[in-house]
Amino acid sequence: ELANRMAERGGNVVKSLMKLGVMATINQVIDADTAELVIGDFGHKAKRVSDADVEIGLVAGPDEDETLMSRPPVVTVMGHVDHGKTSLLDALREADVVSGEAGGITQHIGAYQVQSASGARVTYIDTPGHAAFTAMRARGAHVTDIVVLVVAANDGIMPQTVEAIRHAQAAKVPMVVAINKIDLPEADPDKVRTALLNHEVVVEQMGGDVLCVEVSAKKRLHLDKLEEALMLQSELLDLKANPDRVAEGAVIEAKMERGRGSVATVLIQRGTLHIGDTFVCGKEWGRVRALVSERGERLEEAGPATPAEVLGFNGMPEAGDDFIVVADEAQAREVSGYRQRKDREAQFVKSARGTMEQMFERIHAGEAKELPVVIKGDVQGSVEALIGTLEKMGSDEVRVRVLHSAVGGINESDITLAKASDALIIGFNVRANPQAREMARRDGVEIRYYSIIYNVADDVKALLAGMLEPTF
C-alpha cells in the first residue's frame, strides 16, 4: 500500500525497512513513524492524514448550473390530529394517473410520487405529522421542500397546528395552507385565515405570500387547486437537481423484512441510482440488489425526488441517514467503518452539556448569532412576560430567538424541535413528561426549570455573555 502510494516497488520498501532494522513482509502493517522514515528514505514528503479524511470528497460539491434539471417538490403534510392529514394523503394518491393505469395496489413505503393529469409530479412523504419531519431534520436530513399545513375549517388553529407552524418555520421550509373539511356546514375558512395571522402566517387572501386553498379530502373537492398551489410554490423555489451523476439521497424509512433483509426507502436528492451501485448509508453500506417502487414494480433506476425501496443493505440504516453512492466496496467499507468507530466514541461523550457547548463553539466560530429557546409555561401571562423579557435582551451581536412557546408541560415534540435547532428549553412552573425527559437525556437536549422570571433573565444574560465574541 505504501509502495503503491509512493509509486515505488514493494521490494524496495521492504529493503528500506530492513535498513531500519524492521523485518517486514510485503503486506505487514507498520506504524506511522516508521512509515514516515521510509517515505523520507525515498525522498518523498509524508503528509499525515486523519481517520476522518475518509469523509473528504465523499459528497461532491454543488453541481454546475447547466447540469441542473427541474425536479418534483417533496411535500410533507402536517397539522393537528383529526384535521385530515391521512385523508388528504389518500385523496391525493388517488389522483395519480400512473397507478390508475396500472391498476396496481400501492403499499406503504414511506413516500410516494403522484403524477397528475397535467403531467406535473409531486412527491409526498407518507408519514403525516411533524414528529417524522423533525426527527429527520435532527439527523441532518433536509428532504422536505414544502409543508402542507392542514387546518380543519370547523376546528381552527389547535395546539399541534401551532407546533407544525413552528417546526416548518424553524426549518425555513415554506408552507402551503390547506383549509380542510369545507364540506361541513360549520366550516369557517375566514376564521382560520384570520387566526393564522396570530402565528406569523399571512396567507395570500390576507395580503401575504403564503398560498392557501380550501379543500375537502373527504368529498375530493379542490384537490387540483392544492396541486396547482404546490406546483406554483415549487416554481418559486426553483427546485433543480443534476440527474446525471452518482446518486445521493436520504433514508425515509427502514425495516427488517423476512426474506428481503434490511429494506430502506431512499429518496434520491440528486443523481440517479442504479442497480449494482455501491453505497454508504449512515453507518452502513451495501450494494443495490433491487429497486422497488411503491406499486411493487422493479425499477432499473431512480432519479431525483423519486422514492424507492432499496434492497442490498449489509446492516440496518435509520430514517434520516444520508445515502451516498461510492466508487467501490473498499471505499464503502472504509467510510462505514470510520462512522461506526466515531459513533461508538460519541456514545461515551454524549451528555447534556454537549449540545449547548457545541452551540457555543459555533457562536465563537461566528456561525451562530442567536440563542434559540423553546418556552413552556403554566399560564399564558407568564409565557408572554418571558418572551417579552428575553426578546429584549442581547445586542446586535447575539440575541435570543424564541422558536416556540406555549402553555403546557414539556413534551416530545418540544424535545425534537429543540434538538433539531440546538435550542435550550425553558420550563416555567411546568415539568417535562417522562418520555420527554428520557428523550432529552438521550439526545443531549438541555431543559432548565424556573419559577421566577428574574432568574430566567439572569441565566439567559449569563449565557448570552458567554456567547459574546471578544472585541478587539
Task: Write out the binding residues for GTP.
Answer: 79-86, 126-130, 180-183
Q: Is 218 in the site for ligand GDP (CB under 6 A)?
A: yes
User: Which of 76, 87, 99, 411 forms a contact with ligand GDP (CB under 6 A)?
Assistant: 87
Give the 3-state secondary structure of residue 72.
coil
Cite the beta strand spans of 42-120 per DSSP E.
Answer: 69-70, 74-79, 111-115
How far is the C-alpha of 44 from the C-alpha of 52, rounded, in Å? 23
Q: Is 367 exposed, middle or buried (0-12, 13-18, 19+ CB in 10 A)?
A: exposed
Min separation Cβ 83 and ligand GDP, Å: 5
CA distances from 6 to 41, 52, 112, 318 (A): 11, 22, 50, 39
CA distances from 64 to 57, 235, 243, 326 (A): 16, 20, 12, 20
Q: Is 85 in the site for ligand GDP (CB under 6 A)?
A: yes
Q: Is 94 in the site for ligand GDP (CB under 6 A)?
A: no
Min separation Cβ 466 and ligand GDP, Å: 42
Q: Which residue's C-alpha cell is 412523504?
A: 125
User: Which of 1, 51, 53, 82 forms a contact with ligand GDP (CB under 6 A)?
Assistant: 82
Q: Is 130 in the site for ligand GDP (CB under 6 A)?
A: no
Min separation Cβ 90 and ligand GDP, Å: 8
Stretch that binds ligand GDP, among 57-65, 178-186, 382-390, 412-420 (CB under 6 A): 178-186
Q: Is 81 in the site for ligand GDP (CB under 6 A)?
A: yes
CA angle 87, 89, 91 (to 5 degrees): 65
Return the C-alpha torsion angle 266, 270, 271, 276, nearest 10: -20
Stretch that binds ligand GDP, among 67-75, 212-220, 247-255, 323-331 (CB under 6 A): 212-220
Q: Which residue's C-alpha cell is 449569563?
A: 462
User: Which of 35, 217, 239, 332 forms a contact with ligand GDP (CB under 6 A)?
Assistant: 217
Nearer to ligand GDP among residue 382 and residue 413 (C-beta): 413
Q: Is 188 in the site for ligand GDP (CB under 6 A)?
A: no
Nearer to ligand GDP among residue 26 and residue 81 (C-beta): 81
Q: Which residues pair with 308 in a beta bridge?
A: 266
User: Which of 36, 41, 183, 204 forms a contact with ligand GDP (CB under 6 A)?
Assistant: 183
CA distances from 222 to 48, 125, 318, 384 (A): 62, 20, 36, 38
Binding mask 110-129 for ligand GDP (x = CB under 6 A): ------------------x-
Nearer to ligand GDP among residue 135 and residue 263 (C-beta): 135
Single-letter residue type at 316:
M
Task: Write out the residues near ligand GDP by the rule CB under 6 A.
Answer: 79, 81-87, 128, 180-181, 183-184, 216-218
